[in-house]
Amino acid sequence: SLAILREQSTSTWLSVTAKGVNLEEFIDFHAPINLNEDFEPVCPELLSPSPLLTLDHLPAYHLRHQFIYYKPEKGLTDAFLKLGKGKERIEVVAKRLKDAMELSFSQDKMGVHWSLSTASALYWRVKGDAVNALKCLRQSLNSAPSDMRDVALVSMANIYQQAGLLHSALIAGGFALKISPKLVAIHFTLANIYASLEKYQHALMFYYSTLSMQTNFEPAKERIRTIYCFAENSSL
């Protein structure tokens, strides 16, 4: 049924490499790792945030401590492991990010490089910790170049959607689309949000635009089929 579209939302993630950024410039993948220390990549607090950049005005942000529906996004585990070339455990990749952020922060008191905080948010999404994920995404949005902000915005839209705060998700996703109107992950994200809102005509529009850019994208095809099978009596 259509409840599948709302309840089994597919997590999406926009990699910094899709934007031409090489994480190896910021992470030493050859350094020895000590897992006896704390390994989780907690992003530092923003000292002077720009609330307009970080979208602090969205209702979802103010409810972030009460996300009772947000669950660990286990489907993103492989995406996170790929940051470490797929050869290292999740704890090792997390510790590399933590160490890289500490080095970045020590070199630039303005804050951690946006690509590191964005990657760290992925760890917290896998763990199901929306508060820490959003802390990292605010760091990214506050410091990323304007043409790179879509990477963090896609993650933010996903978290808000999974938490059931769909209008906030739509706004974050809409900002991402303005920055990069031709990225598959953004179109698919918006399609999923519209499906959750039960706005199936809008959802179909974005599922089809997803396929126009990547014709073999099976999740979009499956969701189009589901809508046509079950939405005959709804808003189509």
170 within domain boundaries: yes
End-to-end CA distance of the chain: 15
pLDDT higher than threshold 60 for residue 235: no
How large is the average pLDDT for residues 212-236? 86
Rounded to whole angstroms, the Cα distance separating 49 from 142 reads 6
Contacts of 106 (CB under 8 A, 6+ apart): none
Q: Structural domain tally of the chain?
A: 1
How large is the average pLDDT for residues 140-163? 97
Contact 104, 26 (CB under 8 A): yes
Rounded to whole angstroms, the Cα distance separating 83 from 77 reads 10
pTM of the model: 0.94
How large is the average pLDDT for residues 171-196? 97
224 within domain boundaries: no
pLDDT tens profile 65-118: 999 989 999 999 999 999 987 788 999 999 999 999 999 988 876 678 999 999
- Which is nearest to 18 in space by CA: 169, 212, 186? 186
pLDDT at res. 58: 97
Its domain, for residue 150, covers 2-42+50-175
pLDDT at res. 11: 93
pLDDT at res. 207: 98
pLDDT at res. 236: 60
Share of the chain above pLDDT 70, in %: 94
221 within domain boundaries: no
69 within domain boundaries: yes
Give residue 77's identity as a one-letter amino acid code: T
pLDDT at res. 232: 67
233 within domain boundaries: no
pLDDT tens profile 34-76: 888 899 999 998 878 898 999 999 999 999 999 998 999 999 9
How large is the average pLDDT for residues 218-235? 84
**1 falls in which pLDDT band (50, 70, 90)?**
low
How large is the average pLDDT for residues 13-37? 90
Share of the chain above pLDDT 90, in %: 78
196 within domain boundaries: no
pLDDT at res. 36: 86
Rounded to whole angstroms, the Cα distance separating 2 from 199 reads 11
Contact 133, 170 (CB under 8 A): no
Distance set, CA 228 to CA 56, 187, 215, 231 (Å): 37, 19, 19, 6
pLDDT higher than threshold 60 for residue 234: no
More reliable by pLDDT, 111 or 204? 204
192 within domain boundaries: no
38 within domain boundaries: yes
Across the chain, mean pLDDT equals: 92
Residue 209, both tokens: 């635009």
